[in-house]
A and B are shown apart, each in its own frame.
Chain A
Amino acid sequence: MYEEDRALVARMRAGDQRAFDEFVNCSAPRLTAFVARRSALDTASLEDVVQSALIKAVRNLASYRGEAALFTWLTEICRHELIDVQRKAARRPAQVSLEETATARLAVAELRVPEHEEPAATLEAATRAAAVMQVLASLPERYFRALEAKYGDGLSVDEIARELGLTMIATQSLLARARDAFRERWLEIADQTHTGASPL
């Protein structure tokens, strides 16, 4: 199991540039989305978390044993980074840094086509995303991972199957159960909200 991931890591450890490119191209966008879903960090902090996680990963490639998918291993590193950042943020006194500080020096403007979303629509989308994450977090970890891979990362059933170490049929079945569980929990919370019992 996870032969491809193990082979990729072996090639990276041998200094294969293509393997490194494959590793970064596949994992960086997914890892960035992984962090973005779990935090409200600004772009720079989000970048720091992903960068630190990937750096730790490439420094410790030898510790990847192929017992889980490479991406799952990366998300574990990322979770720790995220916890560190959140812990540091909690210790930091609440103050706004000066506009032109040295730390902001690296902030390079990003190319972005203007968005025309109304603030209310943006807020609604953010609230809904938070509610979805809350429901997902209440589901079994395997359901959460399958749904996130399918609807967040856009992975095919085949890719999810490989990542979770399952057959295609088992993955389809897992996704169906996960969707059912999600719907059930979502409706439950919706009902609670309707009766004023939940902040959602």
Chain B
Amino acid sequence: MNDRRPPETGKEADLSVEKILSGALMKSPPEFHFRERLRNAVMREWRAALSESRPARSAMRRWWIGIAAAAGLAAVTLAALLSIPVGESALFGSIARLNDGGIELRSGWFRYHTLQVGDVLRVGERLTVHGSALVTLSGGGTLRIGAGSNLYIAKATELSFERGLIYLDMPPGLTPSNPLRVATVAGIVEHLGTQYEVMSDARAVRIRVREGRVRFSGTSGVVDAAAGTELLTMPDAPISRQGIPTYGRDWLWTTALAPDYDIEGRSLMGFLQWASRELGRPLDFADTHSRDVAGRTILHGSVRGQEPLDALGNVLATTTLTYELRGATIWVHSAR
């Protein structure tokens, strides 16, 4: 404690106390995603509270509002007509799943609307994602978008990622001739057949590769990163690199948005491989018998709406196999 002892009097004493207090009390501002989640959650409640407490309006006020609404509607209709594009832009993908908050889309100057599951996304559209979303890409693969993200679809094969969190999944065997590029504040990310996550805001970009490889072209050079690598960079700054696990907490948001897997008539092995990719954990069989059982078992039914880990437990419960998470791997063995 001696080194913390401030002088007892005078200006020096004040400065010393100020230093102690600032050092202990000053906290870093909350992270971007924290702020966005907080804002969205509180805004929902605020709006709900407003709609519940809105007092009954007088007839006169309603009449005036009616007039104003009619005039507004006319103006909006005119504006919408003016902003309708001459031809439809190229298809980018479609919304496969939306979690609370949804997506707001802007195209042209005046056209805003909230997207529903099944709606298509086209080039030239700007997305503000309030909840999380799963998008099926027209060129194959999926794009998962975290809450609080802003994106602009620049081309059918290029996404301008302004801020937030996204995860791109190109399953093996899907090798589009023009793979999707993600343009960020610090450079461009291109995948070379992979699963990867990009987090970005106006200050920095983080890329985490879960499978395959990605190439990042920034102002400080071009870097390739393999599975289990994290790249961190800022505009005009060097790129730092470190190893990361491909499973666990940090990836849970992506598994929560995993596309449904249709098990009907498909092999248990195929399902296990899907679960393995979604969980970022390699498969390991206890013996050849377990592997054979997985290869010849044909599944029936559905695991729709279940997250990969839940689906894994539920499906294996109907077979003679079971699993354990052993370190990084999913270890499959006989139930008996």
Contacts and interface: CB of A to CB of B under 8 A. Distances in A.
Contacts of A65: none
A179 B17 contact: yes
A54 B279 CA distance: 34
A53 to B, nearest CB: 10
Contact of A152 (B25, B39, B41, B204): B25
B13 A183 contact: yes
Contacts, number: 163
Contact of B24 (A47, A128, A187): A128
Contact of B30 (A32, A55, A186): A32
B33 interface: yes
Contacts of A12: 46
A104 B250 CA distance: 9
B69 interface: no
B21 A151 contact: yes
Contact of B8 (A61, A109, A183, A193): A183
B165 interface: yes
B29 A111 contact: no
The range of chain B's interface size is: 35 or more
Interface string B47-71: 0011001000000000000000000
Contact of A111 (B41, B147, B206, B309): B206
B143 to A, nearest CB: 16
A125 interface: yes
A100 B309 contact: yes
A54 B39 CA distance: 9
Contacts of B199: 109, 111
A104 B49 CA distance: 28
A184 B2 CA distance: 15
**DSSP majority for the B interface?**
helix
Given A33-B27, A151-B22, A108 B253 contact: yes
A132 B31 contact: no
A77 B29 CA distance: 21
Interface in B191-233: 197, 199-201, 204, 206, 208, 232
Interface in A145-188: 147-148, 150-152, 154, 179, 182-183, 186-187
A128 B23 contact: yes
Contacts of B304: none
A200 interface: yes
Contact of B42 (A32, A54, A193): A54
A47 B38 contact: yes
Interface string A66-86: 000000000000000000000
A41 interface: no
Contacts of B23: 125, 128-129
Given A28-B35, A106-B252, A106-B256, 20 more contacts: A29-B30, A33-B25, A51-B37, A54-B42, A99-B249, A104-B252, A105-B255, A107-B249, A107-B252, A109-B199, A109-B253, A110-B32, A111-B201, A128-B24, A131-B24, A152-B25, A183-B6, A186-B6, A186-B17, A190-B2
Q: Please name the 3 residue pairs, one residue from A and one from B, whose CB atoms are nearest each other, closest first.
A: A152-B25, A132-B24, A151-B21
